[in-house]
Structure 1
Amino acid sequence: MNTISPELNSSLLEQLFSAATHDASTAMCRWTNGQITLTLDEIAEMPLEEVSTNLDLGDDLLTMVALTLQGELGGTMLLTFDEENGRSLAASLLNRPRATTPEWNELERSALNETGNILGCAYMNALTRFLDAELIPSPPYFLQDFGASVLQQALMTQALTCDTATICRTTFRREDQALDWNVLFLPTQGLRDRLMNCTTA
């Protein structure tokens, strides 16, 4: 059952992200030959300083694919994996055994970047339709670091314009198995205000 935080309590916003998640799931299903699907669990807002604790990312090595939106209606979308799930996805997409070397090679990075691109475009296309304003994400880029450090890199710029993160919690599944992936969406204050105005109009 989807849960919306009190500040975002709007059926329109829930419909928006449900539609975006549905589009993303369809795209992921095509991209992974039917292996991966996703469903929306919750939309919530929280202070930036609480995000790391709330997501319980811990101090394990994380892999992240990030996309950014420039301008007033900007923001950042992050797709995070633990090492096991990130490596397994890359191996599946490349149709080769899971790599065991410490460093990610260029093909593995490219496979995850394209995954982030597919998810990001699905979400941004839904936002574009909803806001009637074109949102163009940057090319995805690959980051790797430890737990809170990964998240801090993404939140650093966000803190200049907004002190709140909007989180779309999702469940990713490979067949019937839940995967340890997270999608984190961080709109700028301008985009957040536009979303709020649209959902309360």
Structure 2
Amino acid sequence: MSGNHYVINSNSIKQLEIAFKQGATEAGNALTQWIGKPISVHLDSITPVPLGESMNLLGQPDEPVCCCIMHLEGAFRGRLALAFSDESGMALSEMLTGIAGSNEWGELEKSAALESANILGCAFLNAMVQSAASKDIATVLPSPPSFHRDYAMSLLQGLFLEQAMIADRVLFVRTQFFMKGKALVWHLLFIPDTLES
């Protein structure tokens, strides 16, 4: 902990595992209420990996991926990103709008994805802060999510830019989504700013 925010590096990230797990649980609860179908979110990985290996986090580096990204200040600094394939994103939009058959990212589809990212992202962050709270740290300030669609490698390079400038290994928290026990092709990534060198 430093000043009014947590410094997250390879030593401290394990100490915050309970906070990350609580964040994942609350994100699943919020998404269940929003979609109207039972969704669970589980902590998948909080292990530092070499920068090169991180390029495979979202599938093949040369495949298109969609990402709703929130920039964070306050107790936790970094980026929170909801990533998904086109197919998974369209399925989410269909569940929310009731409009089937869409295969393009129009304003309605983007709006459904962004609102979903905002709801589950805020639930994740609030639970993290409450679980790891101290008298000095009580808030996290997320930006409104922004929608991006690009090749997986390009998106990940942008997300890890801050860390890649000072280290050859990157830190991230990854969650996986399940509906009725079946894994969904969605990932929530928390990528902290880190002072590790």
> Which TM-score tier does this pair reach, normalised by the shorter chain?
0.7 to 0.9
- In the alignment, is the contact (CA less than 8 A) between 2:162 and 2:193 conserved in 1? no
The equivalent of 1:121 in structure 2 is 122
Structure 1, residues 94-151: CA drift from partner, whole Å, max 9, x if none? Answer: 11103023xx111111110111111211222123221442111000010001121121
Q: How does 1:9-24 map to 2 (within 5 A)?
A: 10=14, 12-24=15-27
Residue pair 1:72, 1:188 contacting (<8 A) in 2 also:
no
3-state SS of paired residue (1:189): coil
* Aligned counterpart, 1:34: 37
Q: Which moved more, 1:146-155 or 1:68-77?
A: 68-77
Q: Aligned runs of 1:152-191 on 2, under 5 Å?
A: 152-160=157-165, 164-189=169-194
Cα distance, 1:168 vs. partner? 2.4
- Opposite residue 120 of structure 1, the aligned amino acid is G
Identity %: 33
Superposition TM-score, scaled by structure 1 size: 0.79
2 CA distance for matches of 1:159 and 1:72? Answer: 22
Unaligned runs of 5+ in 1: 1-5, 193-201
Distance 1:158 1:95, change over 3 A: farther
Amino acid of the residue matched to residue 74 of structure 1? R
In the alignment, the residues of structure 1 paired with residue 117 and residue 180 of structure 2 have an alpha-carbon distance, to the nearest angstrom, of 20
Deviation of 1:8 (Å): 5.5
> In 1, are the aligned partners of 2:75 and 2:140 still within 8 Å (CA)?
no
Q: Distance in 1 between matches of 2:75 and 2:26?
A: 25
Bigger drift between 125-134 and 146-155 goes to: 125-134
Aligned pair count? Answer: 184
Q: Tell me, in whole angstroms, the C-alpha distance in 1 between the residues paired with 2:117 and 2:13.
A: 28
Do 2:176 and 2:188's aligned partners in 1 also have CA atoms closer than 8 Å? no
Sort the Cα spacing of 1:8 and 1:75 in 2 relative to 1 into closer, same or farther, 3 A: same
Q: 2:140 aligns with which of 118, 130, 135?
A: 135
1:58 is aligned with what amino acid? P
CA RMSD of aligned residues (A): 2.6
Residue in structure 1 matched with residue 54 of structure 2 by the alignment: 51
Q: Structure 1 residue aligned with 2:155, among 150, 156, 173?
A: 150
Answer whether contact 1:62 1:80 (CA < 8 A) is retained: yes
Q: Which runs of 5+ in 2 are unaligned?
A: 1-9
Give 1:157 deviation, angstroms. 4.1
Q: Which residue of 2 aligns with 1:74?
A: 77
Pair 1:31–1:156, CA change in 2 (3 A): same
For 1:173 and 1:72, locate their aligned partners in 2 and report how far apart those are by CA, in whole Å: 28
Q: In the superposition, relative to structure 1, how do residues 177 and 72 fare at CA in structure 2: closer, same or farther (>3 Å)?
A: closer
- Which residues of 2 match residues 78-89 of structure 1 at below 5 A? 78-89=81-92
Q: TM-score, normalised by structure 2?
A: 0.80
